[in-house]
Structure formats: C-alpha cells, structure tokens
Amino acid sequence: MFFCACEKPISTASHSPVSGHLVDILATRTSTAMALTELLGAVPLVSSGMPKFQVAAIYLVLGFISWYTISSITAWYRLKDFPGPPTTGFSNLWAARAVWTGKSWKIFPEAQEKHGPITRIGPNALMVRDPATVVNINGVRGGYHRPKDFYDCIRMDPWDHTVLSETDSAVHNDRKTKIYGGYNGRGEMDMEKDVNMVVSDAVELIRTKYMHSATSGPKPPLDYCRTARLIAVDSVTQTGFGKAWGDVREEKDHYGWLAFVDQMFRYLHTFAYIPALSKIVASKPVMILFGPKPTDNTGMGQFLGLIEREVAKRYKNGEAKGEPIKSDTGRSCMLDEWVKNGISQRMAALEVSAQLPAGSDTTATALQGTMLYLLSNPTAYSRLKSEIATGIREGRISSPITDKEARQLPYLQAVLNEGIRMVPPVMNGFPRQVPPEGDTICGRFIPGGTDIFVDYVGMLKDKSVFGEDAHMFRPERYLEGTKEHRDRLFKTTDLAFSHGKWKCLGQKLAWLQLQKVTVEFMRNFDLQIVDPMNPCRIRCFCTPELDDLMVRVTEAKLE
C-alpha cells in the first residue's frame, strides 16, 4: 500500500518572487519587441533607400523576438502554479546543466527539498518523489506514455526502436510480451548457472591477482567498481546470447562498451533533457552519418556487428530454421528463447543490442553502491558475515549460493534493498507524459502533455516512509515493526526498478547478480577500503557511475 507523501498544495502567492522574476524577464522581452516595432514603423525603410536584405533582416529579428516572447510566455504560463528554479519556466537548460555536471543526484533532490514535492524543472517538465505517483504513472491503465523527444535519444538504430526506447505503448507492450520469457529465464534457460560462471571467474581473478596471503607477498588493491562493471557486462552477454565476452576473466573491456558509456552517456542524457536539441541529435540523418555501424572495427559499432553475426546463426533468410543453435555452454539463452517465440531476425538483433544499456550499468551501480555502504558500516558488515557463516555451517547455503537460498537470508535481503535505496540504479529518469485529458497528482491538476520525471533519490530517502534516519545506511529498518510496515518499505524500494507496464525487464537477472556476488565475495574475502577519506567518486547523468573504489583483499573463508 502506498501513501501520498506530498504536502499541502502550495498557493500561487507562496512563490510569487519566482513568478515575478519570470514576468519581469518576459516583460523586458516584450518591451524590446514593442520598441523595435515602433522604430520600424517610424523609419520609412524602403523609401529611405535601405537595401532590401537589411529590411528582411530587421523583420527576421523582429519576428524571432516576437516568437520567442510569445512562446516563453505560453510555456511559463502553462505550469505557472508549480514552483522551481527561476529559469525553468522558459528554459530546459537548468535541468540539462544538472545532468551535464554529473551531480544531478544532488541537484534534483535539493531542488525538491526547496520547492516542494512537485517541482518544475523545465517549461513542460515536473519532477515528483511520491511513491503513489510512481505507481500511478506506470500503471497499465494509467494512460501515460513515453515522451518521444527524450526516448529517441537512447535508441540504438536510426530506423527502429527497442523495448527500451519504443514510445508507442501498444507496440512496446507487444514487443515486451514476446521477449518477457527470455528475460525471466523461461524455457530451457538456466540463468543461475550462467551467472554462476561469471561470478566464479570473478572470484578466481581476485584470488589469483589481488588477494593478500601469508605466502603471496604484496598484491595491488582491487578496483571493485570496475570489477562490478565487468561482471555485469559478462552476465548480460552470457545470458543474452549464450557467450560471455570474457571481460572478467581477461580483465578487459572487450568491444569498448565501458569506454563508450564513459564517453557518450553524458552527452546522450544531457541532450535528452533539451527537446529541441534531441530532435537534431536523434534524427535519422545524424544517426546515419555519425552513429555506430555494424561495419565499424572498434567501439559500439564493433559490438553491433558481433550481435548481427550471433543473431544470424539462428536465422536463415530472416526466418528461424529448425531448432535454435544453442550457445557454447550447451544451454539455451535469451536469444534462443526469442527465436522459439517467433520474433523476427531484425527484432532479435535490436533487442539484444538493448540488453547492455538496459542491464549492465544499472546492475553495476547496485553492486557498487551496496558494497560501498556495506564496507563503510562495520556493524552491517559483521552481521552479514555472521548470517552467511551460520547458513554455511547449517548447510543452508550451497557453493555457489542459489537464488532460493539467498531469499531465505533476511539480513542479506535487507542489505541489498538498503543498498539500492541509498544508490538507486536510476536516479532522475525516465519521464512519462500525462495523458491529453490531464491528471491529478498529489491533489494538484497537471495539464495533459506534461512530462513527469521521478526523483528516485528523494523518494527513497523520504522520512515519512523510511523514518527520521532515512539518510543513513541501516538495513535493520527492513526487519523492524509490523509486517505492514515492512511490506511498505520493500514495496517502495522495489519502485527503483519502476512499476507496471514499464517495470524493468532485467530485474531478475540483476537480483541474481546482487545476491551471488555479495555472498560469494563475503564468504571468500575480507575487503577493506584503501582510502576511507576518499573511498570513491560518483557521477550521475541518469544512472549513477561509481569509480575507483579501491579495496585491499585478504582471504576469509567462512566454511
């Protein structure tokens, strides 16, 4: 059950300084336009012998100023009753700048603390932090849809969309139905064994290269953040088309995926917040000319080429022929299940290409954030170690741990939920658009066509839901109080994976990785932050990225 955390509706008078400031700016533009009009009317331009191109230029300038003035007034007026930073009534640059700096995880929540639970962040954009609203806007019957300008910026192909970027709700739902079974390990898939292979590679890498022991001598510190990213990539590729890239085993960024993310995500997410710019960046001509191509020899294009070849193995002339060709493991993968479900070769290639941006960075963030807070809290660290050790001694934990076993460890589940709460995989996106007839959110009417963003950081640190110590990492909160109270905490935290028809398809895979990596690392190693004063760096354009969490590794078997 969700409760609206919004405060009493704010009257227009309560934010009159902001409105007044905007009115002053717009009035200045209007007076400028009027002055130019008077000047233009007072001067006999043609009769004075002024060249026609100068006359045209003046009219062009006047027309632009008039258009900009009218459009600014219209944009500001439409959502004038909703407070926000001063420039957001007529410009998207404030929000775009917040994303560009990589500090949106601080800037957006601070704006909401100042301006209230419904904060204006652009001429046509509002940000909310209320769990009930997140449920409503993502509901199957809510009537909300994805705004095209934003989602076009995250598509992988100039001609077609994937389930990640599709804005037509009917097409999205049909596509999701066809690929849902693969994402959830249906059919002949063995998703657990696939993840076990990757986690085993990670444990072996750390034991061989980074673990200190009495006989090994000095070893370098482990960059846990990078290792988490490699694990996420290998897990997605192993389950996606049956063969991990080997990023963990070779400790190498094959096909340059991580480099692509580090280089391009700042631009893509920033452009998405500026509709006028996203129309250009995501246009077919620009993507055809400058986007990655399967024929490229490096980077994202090389990755797309690999996907096309893997998909082609399962098809002939665009049609599946006989039984799908299984992966090197001899087991089925997501792609094989999709083939059996009858999706086209084109659609299969598109959806495989969407798996990495949809599932690798978000899962890596959850792995990184959880470990950062766990290593920073000796009480939680020791208690989780104790729960795992007890489970091993009593024979309730296999090697490696299974999903079923992990879900029977209450403190582990509390730690993982608390880690996601403190560092949500998505912090300030993705928007939904209010249906044409408008809707009421937290007691306020929102005009149709308005983009609604979610401040996940603010929502998951709401004191009315998580208590006065919501800013602290304290897993015990999920084990305290009544069942109704605990269920409310778990359900609210689960909204980090969205809800309803847009709920994250990869949640099961992400949770498998979180459980297995956390338990297997804790049972095999003791980890210690090298520099507690500067444990790591964080940057967030939409999905947060943690870098340089350097840890010292020693052996700590719990069997």
Which of 453, 442, 444 shows the shortest CA–CA distance to 11? 444
Q: Is 504 annotated as a binding-site member?
A: yes
The Cα 559–Cα 556 span in angstroms is 9
Q: Does the CA dihedral 140-146-151-156 come out positive or negative? A: positive
User: CB-based contacts of 198: which residues, under 8 Å, 6+ apart?
Assistant: 231, 234, 235, 238, 244, 248, 513
402 C-beta neighbours (distance < 10 Å), count: 16
Find, among 95, 206, 229, 220, the residue nearest to 546 by Cα.
229
| Structure-token pair, residue 526 | 């003791």
**Polymer length of the chain:** 559
Q: How far from 80 is each of 10, 19, 84, 97, 112, CA to CA, in Å?
A: 12, 7, 10, 22, 16
> What is the dihedral angle through the alpha carbons of 107, 111, 117, 122, rounded to the nearest 10 degrees?
-90
If you search the block for the tokens 């940000």, which residue do you land on?
Answer: 127
CA distances from 275 to 95, 261, 270, 550 (A): 12, 22, 10, 39
- DSSP per-residue codes, 242-283: S----HHHHT--GGGHHHHHHHHHHHHHHHHT-HHHHHHHTS
Q: How far apart are CA 524 and CA 516, in angstroms?
A: 12
278-301 burial, b if ≥16 CB within 10 A, otherwise e? beebbeeeebeeebbebeeeebbb
Query: Tokens in use for 170?
Result: 């009917």
Residue pointed to by tokens 């009917």 = 170
Which residues are part of a known binding site? 504
Which residues are part of a known binding site for heme? 504
